[in-house]
Amino acid sequence: MGDRAVLLNDRTVPRSRGNIDHIAIAASGVWVIDAKRYKGLVERRDVGGLFKSDLRLFVGGRDQTKLADGLGWQIDAVRDALGGTPVTISAALCFIEAEWKLLARPFQQNGVWVTWAKKLAEMIAEPGALTPDDVTDVASRIAVALPPKHARSETA
């Protein structure tokens, strides 16, 4: 259903100093994407003890779990921008230039997909409930509520 996707880049969140790197809107729903240019191997490790699991995200040997936790406010900002419209919102950390094991698969860390660019594009392109008209409508609503970060300089 629908082969249309809209990509909104570098969006300002009103009343916030933060921004959202990318928002993709497709038949599969709305995707909040935080792109990271990190070096090293991306992996999920269980650092828990004998009786308790504690899965964490490591990149280049360093615990980067906080990156997944940090997408919560961005998801909330997109949800607020949609004003209650029932749309599936997914979040992804997309590692650019990082290394992955040979048979690596995307995984979720605290509800956030951890993946690489080509795989994320495939995930976004999956079939979903949004029609092409829905995609256009949802993208327009988000674009108005979360303007481009550099919109002010474009008018000067």
**45-100: pLDDT as tens digits:** 999 888 999 999 999 999 999 999 889 999 999 999 999 888 999 999 999 999 99
In the chain, domain spans: 6-154
Distance between CA atoms of residues 88 and 31, nearest Å: 8
Which residue pairs, CB below 8 angstroms and at least 24 apart, start in 137-143? 138/25, 138/30, 138/82, 138/85, 138/87, 139/6, 139/8, 139/25, 141/81, 141/82, 141/83, 141/85, 142/8, 142/11, 142/23, 142/25, 142/30, 142/78, 142/81, 142/82, 143/8
pLDDT tops 90 at residue 155: no
Q: Taking the model in full, what pTM does it have?
A: 0.90
